[in-house]
């Protein structure tokens, strides 16, 4: 099997990760109990920062959307990397390694701070990128480039 197939699978996984994350970010805030009180406090505590008036909720919600954007960008990069891996497997090696390490770091952070959804998705992404990296090494060696 070629590395490009695994990189395309990684791109698909990252699209699913993006959609799930975005759905979670855009889900409505809790409507009762202690969670709603915390969200209300986050939304209500506004403060000036670098010329803007922001709240902790703005940061929380904004960072969630930023992560969705970055996951979407990783999906596009994995797709583009699949095309590059067919043309120049040696050139795709460091980019694939970077992608694998980023997903490994995301898996560690997800384990430390989040829950099963992001843990499973980031570990699966790490494994897909790792398989692609191994295959790219073989393809680059076989091409003699």
**Cβ atoms 78, 10 nearer than 8 A:** yes
* Model pTM score: 0.91
Q: Is 28 exposed, middle or buried (0-12, 13-18, 19+ CB in 10 A)?
A: exposed
Q: Which domain holds residue 135?
A: 3-28+63-143
Q: Is 32 helix (H, G, I), strand (E, B) or coil?
A: coil
pLDDT at 32: 80
Instruction: With respect to residue 36, please indicate whether it lies within any of the assigned structural domains.
Output: no
pLDDT value at 141 more than 80: yes
pLDDT at 33: 87
**Cβ atoms 122, 107 nearer than 8 A:** yes
Instruction: With respect to residue 53, please indicate whether it lies within any of the assigned structural domains.
Output: no
Angle at 17 between CA 80 and CA 62, to 5 degrees: 100
**Mean predicted confidence (pLDDT) in 15-41:** 90
**Cβ atoms 55, 46 nearer than 8 A:** yes
Instruction: With respect to residue 76, please indicate whether it lies within any of the assigned structural domains.
Output: yes
What is the tens place of the pLDDT at every residue in 70-128?
999 999 999 999 999 999 999 999 999 999 999 999 999 999 999 999 999 999 999 99
Q: How many structural domains is the chain composed of? A: 1
Instruction: With respect to residue 82, please indicate whether it lies within any of the assigned structural domains.
Output: yes
pLDDT grade, residue 47 (50/70/90)? very high
Instruction: With respect to residue 33, please indicate whether it lies within any of the assigned structural domains.
Output: no
pLDDT at 143: 67
Instruction: With respect to residue 117, please indicate whether it lies within any of the assigned structural domains.
Output: yes
d(CA 80, CA 62): 27
Instruction: With respect to residue 39, please indicate whether it lies within any of the assigned structural domains.
Output: no
Query: Which of these, 127, 136, 145, 13, lies nearest to 84 by C-alpha position?
Result: 136
pLDDT at 9: 98
Hey, CA dihedral for 97, 98, 99, 104, is it positive or negative?
positive
Instruction: With respect to residue 7, please indicate whether it lies within any of the assigned structural domains.
Output: yes
pLDDT at 142: 81
């Amino acid at each position: 099997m070629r590395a490009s197939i695994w990189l395309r699978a990684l791109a698909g996984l990252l699209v699913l990760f993006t959609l799930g994350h975005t759905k979670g970010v855009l889900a409505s805030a809790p409507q009762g109990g202690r969670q709603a009180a915390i969200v209300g406090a986050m939304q209500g505590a506004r403060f000036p920062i670098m010329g803007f008036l922001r709240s902790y909720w703005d940061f929380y919600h904004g960072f969630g959307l930023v992560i969705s954007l970055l996951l979407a960008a990783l999906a596009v990069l994995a797709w583009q990397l699949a095309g590059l891996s067919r043309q120049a497997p040696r050139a795709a090696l460091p980019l694939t390694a970077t992608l694998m390490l980023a997903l490994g770091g995301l898996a560690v952070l997800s384990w430390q701070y989040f829950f099963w959804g992001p843990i499973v998705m980031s570990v699966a992404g790490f494994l897909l990128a790792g398989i692609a990296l191994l295959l790219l090494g073989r393809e680059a060696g076989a091409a003699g480039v």
